[in-house]
């Protein structure tokens, strides 16, 4: 039973997209109803209509990033067979073709930052992180996965703090190699598995 005028069906989605754009460009503090409305080309009244509370809008928008991260980072990891493959994927995700742009890193940083204080955002962060950790954990022991996650975020953070200086690929690669080849707990001697084609 539909009533009223549904004259712009994609409006809700466009607002969500505009929200992410604004956060990417100006940070969470720039995410005001009015600013987002201007960016999306919708009147202020539409904002509060589709999203009665600003926090709700932001949470919804952040949540959509989960589906963005999955294919870019987790998918290639799922296909990695050897430890060397894993290193390749990680290097690529840090500075290569599948690596996020500075704007995307900024967005991810906003989530982490906000998540440190807002429990709702922390849940989103947890979900994003779980997606990648679970995938890493499929190939590597738990402790190694943690360290790699920490280092990956460290590299991304480095890129944020030094936007004009490119990271040296060999430096990044060797660091990941060192972590990936850590011995698993309970197996003091590291066995390199050789199940590639």
Residues that bind its own copies (CB under 8 A): 26-27, 29, 106, 109, 112-113, 115-117, 122, 125-126, 129, 143, 146-147, 149-155, 157-158, 160-161, 167-168, 170-172, 174-175, 178-179, 181-183, 185
Q: What is the C-alpha to C-alpha distance for residues 109 and 112, in angstroms, rounded to an integer?
A: 5
Q: Which stretch binds DNA (CB under 7 A): 48-56, 70-78, 170-178, 184-192?
A: 48-56
CA dist list (Å): 190 to 1, 121, 174, 193: 64, 38, 17, 9
Q: What is the C-alpha to C-alpha distance for residues 1 and 171, in angstroms, rounded to an integer?
A: 61
Q: What is the C-alpha to C-alpha distance for residues 107 and 147, in angstroms, rounded to an integer?
A: 22
Check binding of 31 to DNA (CB under 7 A). Answer: yes
Q: Which does 59 bind (CB under 5 to 8 A by kind): its own copies, DNA, none?
A: none
The nearer residue to its own copies, 62 or 125, going by C-beta atoms, is: 125
Residue 134 corresponds to which tokens in the numbers above? 């679970």
Rg, the chain, Cα only: 20
The nearer residue to DNA, 43 or 163, going by C-beta atoms, is: 43
Q: Which residues bind DNA (CB under 7 A)?
A: 1-8, 11, 31-35, 42-49, 52-55
């Amino acid at each position: 039973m539909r009533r009223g005028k549904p004259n712009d069906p994609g409006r809700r989605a466009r607002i969500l997209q505009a929200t992410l754009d604004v956060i990417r460009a100006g940070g969470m503090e720039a995410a005001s109803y009015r600013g987002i409305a201007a960016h999306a080309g919708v009147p202020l009244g539409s904002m509060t209509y589709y999203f009665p509370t600003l926090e709700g809008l932001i949470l919804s928008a952040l949540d959509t990033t989960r589906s963005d991260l999955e294919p870019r980072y987790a998918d290639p990891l799922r296909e990695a067979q050897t430890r060397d493959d894993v290193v390749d994927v990680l290097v690529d995700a840090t500075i290569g073709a599948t690596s996020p742009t500075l704007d995307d890193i900024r967005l991810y940083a906003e989530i982490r930052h906000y998540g440190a204080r807002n429990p709702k955002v922390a849940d989103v962060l947890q979900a994003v992180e779980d997606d990648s950790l679970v995938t890493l954990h499929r190939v590597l022991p738990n402790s190694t996965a943690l360290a790699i996650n920490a280092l990956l975020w460290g590299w991304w953070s480095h890129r944020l703090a030094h936007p004009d200086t490119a990271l040296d690929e060999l430096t990044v690669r060797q660091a990941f190699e060192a972590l990936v080849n850590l011995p698993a707990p309970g197996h003091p001697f590291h066995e390199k598995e050789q199940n590639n084609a």
